[in-house]
Amino acid sequence: MIRRSRTLFGSLFPLVPACHKEYCLNLPDQLHRTCNASIMTSTATATTANVDAKRAKPSPPADRQDFLAVFDTLKDELVNDPLIAGQPDFSKAWMQKMLTFNVPGGKLNRGMAVLDVLKAIKGTEHVTKEEAFKANALGWCIEWLQAFFLVADDIMDNSVTRRGQPCWYRMPEVGTVAINDGIILESCMYRILKNHFRSTPYYVELLDLFHETTHQTAHGQLLDLTTAPPGTTDLSKFTVNNYMRIVTFKTAYYSFYLPVACGMLISGITDAHAFQAAKDILLIMGQYFQIQDDYLDCFGDPDVIGKIGTDIQDNKCGWLVVQALQKASSSQQQIIKDNYGRGNLEAVQRVKKLYYELELEPLFKQYEADSHDKLLQMIHQQDVLPPAVFTMLLNKIYKRTK
């Protein structure tokens, strides 16, 4: 049971309502926001966390270019895979286009974290070129897995944009072919693992890790979808416990634990206690990340976050609506029941207006501060891994705007 508190698992975070222009003009100046299509955009600037900055600063552009160069190598291997030798040119061209469109377009934080973890554990000067390549190859396996999840997720959510461009399935020539493309994206991950890690002593552990993470994430998605099936609004399922299970299994395992576990394996760590200590911290960090994501879905600028948020109209079980249900009076709960999960703009605005009236924004800011403090405490209390393994991830997400 997850208790409500103002600590890490504490209060759900707040929002300022998106609204019609005339409503926006009536907000206090400090809360004024502009409306963009069906969502409110935020003009907040990014704030960089100052945690263990010397050892955990973001990867420089040169590291990103090195990482992208490994993608090109792996993509060429997959397109010309001997296992499917003889594929016609138009099939290869589709594969090239599909991989380039879906895999490397995001922030790449998950994938690049593997090499960062390896450097934090071994020391940058002790990482060989071969180890760096393997770490980046593993990082791309995570990005391939992410691409597989996102292609499927966009279809299930009927999403419009992803990473600042139309969703893959919405491209005129793609449509339902995207379902098969998602299967190919997942299979590519295992081809990379076989091609580059079959001879390593941790190959079986890698296979188990990726299989288990996929299984966990799929069940998180299942809970997400069945908690709020299309066309049905059952707010009794929108509980803190259900929400925390969704975000833990759908996001935390693959976005945070998976990259660090990969870095630990490639660095030679085999101690089960070390993996458990990492998991304890990283699942909490992943929960915090997803709560931020819910906030940005409602109030982030789509030009910054790369997508148009649709959680309210999609009837998503998110921290905002869960907290609103806990804080609302009976009449306010009725507003949620009457408008949540509806596709029209007016209904979305009523829900966002209610979030503002319930003063959820200060609640989120307190949650974020408490989460940051709690995570730092856990990081420095453990003694099995260098703190930079965790702080370099925390720096990238603390007070993020996308």
Catalytic residue among 116, 224, 311, 370: 224
Catalytic residue among 110, 191, 250, 374: 250
Pairwise CA distance, residues 339 & 346, whole Å: 9
Indicate if 280 belongs to the active site.
no
Pairwise CA distance, residues 328 & 323, whole Å: 8
Catalytic residue among 153, 342, 399, 402: 153
Indicate if 154 belongs to the active site.
no
Catalytic residue among 13, 289, 364, 390: 289
55-59-63-65 Cα dihedral, nearest 10 degrees: 180
Catalytic residue among 181, 294, 311, 370: 294
Catalytic residue among 13, 67, 101, 148: 148
Catalytic residue among 33, 134, 162, 191: 162
Pairwise CA distance, residues 351 & 349, whole Å: 5
Indicate if 162 belongs to the active site.
yes
Indicate if 297 belongs to the active site.
no
Indicate if 271 belongs to the active site.
no
Pairwise CA distance, residues 242 & 324, whole Å: 15
Indicate if 294 belongs to the active site.
yes
Catalytic residue among 52, 293, 297, 301: 293
Judge contact between 378 and 8, C-beta under 8 A. Answer: no
Pairwise CA distance, residues 371 & 399, whole Å: 11
Indicate if 208 belongs to the active site.
no
Catalytic residue among 107, 194, 198, 337: 107
Indicate if 250 belongs to the active site.
yes
Q: Where are the alpha helices (DSSP H) in 158-309?
A: 177-197, 203-227, 240-247, 258-266, 272-299, 302-305
Catalytic residue among 97, 157, 279, 314: 157
- Catalytic center residues: 107, 148, 153, 157, 162, 224, 250, 289, 293-294
